[in-house]
Amino acid sequence: MAGTLSFLSLSLHLTTFETVTSLAKPRLEGREAGKIIYGPTMRLFVASFFSETMLDWLMKSDLTLSELFPAKTPHLTRPENLHLTYQFLGEVPDSKVGKISQVVESTLRNAESFVFHPGMVGVFPNKFRPRVLWIGLEPASNFQVFAAKIRRALEHEVTSDTKHFLPHVTLARFNEDHAALSNVDPTNITLPLFDVLDKDCTIDSVALCKSELTPKGPIYSELSRFDLK
């Protein structure tokens, strides 16, 4: 009997210890590149959003998309969500957001606005199983300079984004993963630009943004905007 009481006492003690330990442990909120993050986090990225000219292009592209993808139904990006990402930061602790904003602002303090124009249209991952339709932006070198500056400045604040930077805007996504494209050379991953834009656009600001994933799609919010000269 005494042995049974001792066993029960030990079990209760361990249970109480585990409960206290679990209560004392910080709340797990996210993961980033294999690292566990405790505490509140935000899903962040640094990007530029676009003017009405780019939005007009998207609105006029419905018919052309239907012709290029007869077996697939594209889900167009909502106009307010059209953007070019310079760096995806992932899940970032709330406590670091202010510092990240300061770093980006300092990096772009003397940066100048620049003119760009639409480039070629392409798909990810390939033309046989297209999931994402995008349009490239030219001259790519201007965007690459911005992205390199931002990534270097933030390399000590967040996990480095090692993906190759391709300046592009996601125009549409496809739920299906079957059906090849029609009338397209499968060895070439670009498509000719739809001839609907007749003037250049300007990148005049960069923003630190938050992304909230919802069943109806992502919601983007600007936390800080940095105007270019």
Q: Which of 11-20, 76-85, 108-117, 218-227 has the highest mean pLDDT?
A: 218-227
More confidently predicted of 59 and 173 = 173
Q: How far apart are CA 149 and CA 104, in angstroms?
A: 9
b vs e for 79-112, b when ≥16 Cβ sit within 10 Å of the residue's Cβ? eeebbbbbbebbbbeeebbeebbebbeebbeebe
Inform me whether the pLDDT recorded for 211 exceeds 90: yes
What whole-number distance in Å separates Cα of residue 48 and Cα of residue 85?
A: 7
Query: pLDDT category, 44, cuts 50, 70, 90?
Result: very high
Euclidean distance between CA atoms 207 and 226, whole angstroms:
6
pLDDT in tens, 46-105: 999 986 666 666 556 555 666 666 666 677 788 788 899 999 999 999 999 999 999 999
Tokens 């590149």, located at residue: 33
- pLDDT score of 75: 79
Dist. CA 224–CA 86, nearest whole Å: 15
Query: pLDDT band at residue 132, thresholds of 50, 70 and 90?
Result: confident
Q: Cβ neighbours of residue 32 under 8 Å, at least 6 residues apart?
A: 90, 91, 92, 158, 159
- CB burial of 171-190 (b: ≥16 within 10 Å; e: otherwise) equals bbbbeeeeeebeebeeeebe
The predicted model gives 162-171 an average pLDDT of: 88
For the cut 90, the answer to whether the pLDDT of residue 224 exceeds it is: yes
Cα–Cα distance measured from residue 25 to residue 77, given in angstroms and rounded to the nearest whole number: 40
pLDDT for the residue numbered 54:
62
- pTM for the full model? 0.74
Query: For residue 99, what are its two tokens?
Result: 């510092």
Higher pLDDT, 130 or 185: 130
86-95, 165-174, 213-222: lowest mean pLDDT where? 165-174
Q: Which helix (H) or strand (E) holds 205?
A: strand 205-212
Residue 138 has pLDDT above 60, yes or no: yes
